[in-house]
Amino acid sequence: MSEADDFTIHPVGVVRSSLRDTGDAPRQGHRGAPDATIDIHAEYGDALLGIEAGVELTLLTWLHASRRDILQVQPGRDPTRPLTGVFRTRAPVRPNPIGLHRVKVLAVTGNQLRVTPLEAVDGTPVIDIKIALDPPPIG
Q: In the chain, what are the domain boundaries?
A: 10-67+94-131
For the cut 80, the answer to whether the pLDDT of residue 33 exceeds it is: no
User: Is the pLDDT higher at 42 or at 29?
Assistant: 42
Determine the Cα–Cα distance for residues 82 and 120; give it in Å rounded to an integer.
26
Cβ atoms of 25 and 74 within 8 Å: the answer is: no
Query: Can you give the pLDDT at residue 26?
Result: 45
Its pTM stands at 0.85
* Residue 5: φ, ψ to 5°: -95, -10
- Averaged over 44-50, what is the pLDDT? 97
Return the CATH superfamily for domain 10-67+94-131.
YaeB-like (2.40.30.70)
**Residue 64 zone, left/alpha/beta (φ > 0; ψ -120 to 50; rest):** alpha
Q: Check residue 31 and give its pLDDT.
A: 56
